Amino acid sequence: MALYEASATQLLSQLESGEVTSVEVTKACLDRIRQHDGQIGAFLKVMDDKALAKAEHVDQKRKAGQPVGKLAGVPVAVKDLLCTEGEVTTCASKMLENFVPPYSSTVIKKLEEADAVILGKTNMDEFAMGGSTENSALGKTRNPWNTELVPGGSSGGAAACLAAQMVPLSIGTDTGGSIRQPASFCGVVGLKPTYGRVSRFGLIAFASSLDQIGPMARTAEDTALFLEAISGYDPADSTSANVACPLFSKSVDQPLEGLRIGMVKEHFGEGLDGEVDKAVREAVKVYESLGAKVVDISLPHNKYGIATYYIIAPSEASSNLARFDGAHYGHRCDEATMLAELEKEKEALTAAGDEIGLKRMDTPLIRMYRQSRAEGFGPEVKRRIMLGTYTLSAGYYDAYYLKALKVRRLIREDYDKVFKSVDLIVGPTAPNPAFAAGSKTNDPLAMYLEDLYTVTANLAGIPAISVPCGMTSSGLPVGLHMQAPALEEDRLLRAAQMFQKATDWHTKMPCL
């Protein structure tokens, strides 16, 4: 087995035994990136020198018998919206194309403390707004299974680099399915933790009440270890859950006895691809063969999930992105050109005797704000800012935003009720396998519906995971979606491990 093919757990075992060094593992991953990322486009930046220096440092610590972290010497990729001190952090946006944070996010610090080797920053939909990684202002990412298809989004780069075996571990973020949907499209494991389980400090926010950082890997075992390394209470994050962090890596191999699984009736109807339906049902049969009891359940307010999400998320995005004005930081338009254009407009209005037009003209400051934001944000980001500004405006706040918050509460209550009778909820991660690049870019609603089964976990703040569970006739991965009560990531990981011990879908990787 080549080093780039090994799981993080396997690599740790080899590193601890002295069979390989972190420098060797890092070089193998960097070589893989050089060979294939030109075709895939998973990375926005590869930090070769820093990665090799960190790997050498970890090797020296091991050689000297010093304590090392949980991920000592294992390469990791990071989605490019986690602030990293001294490194450009772009959010795949022209607005932040040259932004260098003066501090690191808590998750980056935890990775450094765990002695992980950060290889680079992965591509994403701009400001995490999208479901295909086609909205990146800095380049598109392609699906390693078929480069004519999208890898999903917004964590498309994070999933693609895993599927292409460029790295064994990858950090993603999930606001409405942005870890789980690309994990499904690329045939890897992606877990959205409970809201507050992982600190959001240093995350460039999209929708603050929905965003959650989470682990992506090729196995449940690796995902458990990774989650353990990045979880924990953080006083710097006011939404961080002040609860003990379980040792997920120690319990992941323990099967769940008497498992009760609920299949959501609303998730197996119109809009679900037939091959996805079949693969998920076959996966549920695997659990039945392992002794699980499967029952049909209903989440009646789930049908309002997309509508609710696309009121709340853009509203929060409108507020969060207001700070990017070209004055404090971020992209600023060329002021000389802007002032010259403003003067031309003034001259034209004066010549026309348009007094009303002159009174309505922008001041130079307002024009600078407008022009900088117009140039710095892409079409999807602008669409969501406008939608969010509208729903928060006077006369519409009560009609839309407050009503959406009430429905959000009903969605959470549906989950609370169902979890009294079942341990896990299962269904498809996405209604379709990976789709063709460009096929939905002109139909935002069709793109939004790809998150049909995932957004409600974010609205309810509960953990959810996507695990490879089958392949379509055209050779594309299908994801099994599992949801659990708040703070029950251990249950999800153990269930995922049970499935992976009984199947081999997670071992199938694309041929590059």
Q: Is 468 helix (H, G, I), strand (E, B) or coil?
A: strand
Q: How far apart are CA 76 and CA 166, in angstroms?
A: 10
Catalytic amino acids?
79, 154, 178
**Residues 375-390: b if buried by 16+ CB within 10 A, e if exposed:** ebbbebbeebbebbbb
CB 475 within 8 A of CB 505: no
Q: How far apart are CA 10 and CA 234, in angstroms?
A: 30
CA dist 443 → 141, 440, 450 (Å)? 19, 5, 12
Q: How far apart are CA 173 and CA 148, in angstroms?
A: 24
Q: What is the DSSP pairing of strand 424-428 with strand 477-483?
A: antiparallel
Query: What DSSP string describes 419-438?
Result: TTT-SEEEEESSSSS--BTT
Q: How far apart are CA 91 and CA 81, in angstroms?
A: 5
Q: How far apart are CA 358 and CA 42, in angstroms?
A: 49
Q: Which of 331, 378, 320 is nearest to 175 (CA)?
A: 320
Q: How far apart are CA 491 and CA 210, in angstroms?
A: 22
Which residues, at least 6 apart from 289, have a Cβ–Cβ distance to it below 8 Å?
502
CB 152 within 8 A of CB 132: yes
Q: Which helix (H) or strand (E) holds 213?
A: strand 212-217
Q: How far apart are CA 423 and CA 257, in angstroms?
A: 11
Query: What DSSP string describes 215-258?
Result: EEESSHHHHHHHHHHH-S--TT-TT---S----HHHHTTSPPTT
